[in-house]
């Protein structure tokens, strides 16, 4: 290799309007470029405590254990699952898209006995369907996905906490795709654990995963306590339940690292923490309700624009996440060719789809820093132009007008 072939990093300018990752807010990138401090520096532990408080506000919870897992959103999922599922435990997973399958997959690797209920892609479950399955399976945990980007659907969770409580079931949701763009009430909805990622509505880069754990979930995890040999002292005592079969994802140890004992575990990914702190700070400055409303506004403007172009929407629109949209690729149009022209000639990325929807549906996101009017208008314009170029006829300017109408300046 010749090192001179490796230039300074200089990624091309992209407007990321897919299902995530999206462009990070520049203020988050600037926070991440701050110089480091030591992992036990008072400044660092203060920042860690601040991050806990900021994410409590975002998760709408009083949960003490609200913290970051150093890895992508999938790391947060696995940390919760491997720390709470004992081998042989029954779990119930309502699957309505790819990320439900992912929960099954991870639970299986935790040696859970996995029970699945399914609805067709594009639909969600009623509380009754889930309650019936709980009565039948009697799981120890209910594992849900709040927003499955693979189908763009948003599973209503409001009523599930009471059902879980009635049957003594621990209630988890993966809210990576939906968080901060749609309502989520950890405490009011009776959630025992939530994990999310940065690269969607939070407006940061993938790489750290905020989670929150209820006191009940904490107790479950504490019963599996196992302090590692290299740092354990006589004062440390193991729990009565089977140990957690991961060190990196042992939430008991991660609590002891974030808690007052500051017991060494990993070396906190400081830059990612700085980024996560700034994401939360920006949203709370805007006001979480305002952030959610902003996603609603721009998501609807995009939706109306796409519909006005004569394109059809995938799935049940009334159960859609606000921040992402499945667009059925019209007959005679090559979906990948459209995406390539959008990327190459306009610098705009829209998403393809997984599994059964691959080649049939584009996914268009309006989230985080890109939940903005200019992003919506640019994307609609470019898509209309590309589709027109490839022979798909739509009323000229109708998409833009529909979006303008939604923004309330339709008289332009």
Query: Among residue numbers 97 through 156, which ones bind a second copy (CB under 8 A)?
Result: 98-102, 104-106, 109-111, 150
- Least spacing, CB of residue 211 vs a second copy, in Å: 14
Q: Name the 3-class secondary structure at 207.
A: coil
Residue 363 annotated as lining a ligand binding site: yes
* Residue 401 beta carbon to a second copy: minimum distance, rounded to whole angstroms: 29
Q: In whole angstroms, how close is the CB of 244 to a second copy at the nearest point?
A: 7
Instruction: Note the Cα 388 to chain centre separation in Å.
Output: 34
Is position 278 an interface residue for a second copy (rule: CB under 8 A)?
Answer: yes
Q: How far is the CB of 187 from a second copy (least distance, A)?
A: 15
Residues 247-266 that bind a second copy (CB under 8 A): 247-250, 264-266
What is the rounded (10 degree) CA torsion for 263, 264, 270, 272? -90
Alpha-carbon distance 202 to 281, whole Å?
10
Answer yes or no whether residue 174 interacts with a second copy by CB under 8 A.
Answer: no
Give, in order, the Cα–Cα distances in Å from 30 to each of 234, 268, 395: 44, 19, 42
State the nearest-atom distance from the C-beta of 400 to a second copy, in Å: 25
Which of 161, 183, 275, 315: binder of a second copy (CB under 8 A)? 275
Contact present, 43 and 300 (Cβ < 8 Å):
no
Q: What is the Cα–Cα distance from 254 to 256, expressed in whole angstroms?
A: 5
- Dihedral sign of CA atoms 61, 66, 71, 75 in order: negative
Give every strand in the sheet of 65-69, ordered side by side: 65-69, 209-213, 193-195, 170-174, 141-145, 90-95, 113-118
Q: If we measure between CA atoms, which residue out of 344, 338, 385 comes closest to residue 361? A: 338
CB of 277 to a second copy, least distance (A): 6
289 is an interface residue for a second copy by CB under 8 A: no
CA nearest 129: which of 107, 96, 105? 96
Instruction: In angstroms, give the least distance from the CB of 357 to a second copy.
Output: 12
| Minimum distance from residue 217 beta carbon to a second copy (Å) | 19
- Minimum CB distance to a second copy smaller for 105 or for 312: 105
Residue 58 · residue 280 · CB < 8 Å: yes
Q: Which residues in 307-346 contact a second copy (CB under 8 A)?
A: 343
Instruction: Give residues 32-71 in contact with a second copy (rule: CB under 8 A).
Output: 32-39, 41, 43-44, 47, 50, 53-54, 56-57, 70-71
Nearer to a second copy, 14 or 64 (CB): 14
3-state secondary structure 38-66: CCCCHHHHHHHHHHHHHHHHHHCCCCCEE
Residue 3 in the binding site for a second copy (CB under 8 A): yes
Name the residue nearer to a second copy (CB basis): 23 or 379.
23
Q: Is residue 23 within the footprint of a second copy (CB under 8 A)?
A: yes
Q: Which region, judged by CB under 8 A, interacts with a second copy, from 2-10, 158-166, 216-224, 374-382? A: 2-10
CA 114, 118, 121, 127 torsion: positive or negative?
A: negative
Site for a second copy in 345-404 (CB under 8 A): 349, 354-355
Query: Distance between CA atoms of 247 and 83, rounded to whole angstroms?
Result: 10
Count residues contacting a second copy (CB under 8 A)? 96
Nearer to a second copy, 82 or 157 (CB): 82
State how far the alpha carbon of 120 is from the alpha carbons of 71, 83, 153, 316, in Å: 31, 30, 11, 11
Residue from 201, 272, 301, 383 in contact with a second copy (CB under 8 A) = 272
Please report whether residue 18 would count as binding a second copy according to CB under 8 A: yes
Annotated binding site for substrate: 363
């Amino acid at each position: 290799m010749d090192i001179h072939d490796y230039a300074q990093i200089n990624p091309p300018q992209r407007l990321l309007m897919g299902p995530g990752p999206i462009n990070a807010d520049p203020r988050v990138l600037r926070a991440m470029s701050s110089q480091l401090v030591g992992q036990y520096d008072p400044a660092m532990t203060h920042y860690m405590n601040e991050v806990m408080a900021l994410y409590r506000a975002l998760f709408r919870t009083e949960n003490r254990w609200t913290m970051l897992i150093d890895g992508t959103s999938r790391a947060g999922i696995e940390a919760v699952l491997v720390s709470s599922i004992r081998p042989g435990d029954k779990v119930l997973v309502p699957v309505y898209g790819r990320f439900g399958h992912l929960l099954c997959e991870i639970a299986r690797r935790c040696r859970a006995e996995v029970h699945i209920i399914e609805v067709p892609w594009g639909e969600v479950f009623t509380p009754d369907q889930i309650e019936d399955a709980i009565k039948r399976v009697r799981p120890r945990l209910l594992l849900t996905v709040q927003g499955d980007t693979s189908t763009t659907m948003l599973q209503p969770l409001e009523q599930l906490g009471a059902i879980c409580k009635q049957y003594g079931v621990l209630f988890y949701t993966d809210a990576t795709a939906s968080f901060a763009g749609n309502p989520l009430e950890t405490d009011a909805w009776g959630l025992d654990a939530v994990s999310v990622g940065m690269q969607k509505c939070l407006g940061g880069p993938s790489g750290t995963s905020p989670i929150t754990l209820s006191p009940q979930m904490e107790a479950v995890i504490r019963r599996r306590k196992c302090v590692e040999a290299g740092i354990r002292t006589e004062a440390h005592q193991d729990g009565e339940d089977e140990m957690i079969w991961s060190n990196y994802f042992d939430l008991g140890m991660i609590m002891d690292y974030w808690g007052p004992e500051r017991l060494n575990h990993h070396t906190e990914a400081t830059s990612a923490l700085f980024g996560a702190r700034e994401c939360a700070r920006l949203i709370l400055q805007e006001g979480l309700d305002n952030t959610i409303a902003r996603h609603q506004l721009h998501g609807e403007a995009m939706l109306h624009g796409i519909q006005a172009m004569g394109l059809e929407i995938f799935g049940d629109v009334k159960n859609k996440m606000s921040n992402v949209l499945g667009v059925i690729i019209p007959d005679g149009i090559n979906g990948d060719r459209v995406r390539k022209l959008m990327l190459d000639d306009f610098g705009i990325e829209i998403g393809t789809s997984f599994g059964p929807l691959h080649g049939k549906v584009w996914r268009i996101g309006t989230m985080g820093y890109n939940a903005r009017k200019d992003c919506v208008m640019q994307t609609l314009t470019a898509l209309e132009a590309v589709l027109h170029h490839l022979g798909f006829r739509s009323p000229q300017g109708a998409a833009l007008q529909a979006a303008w109408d939604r923004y309330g300046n339709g008289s332009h």
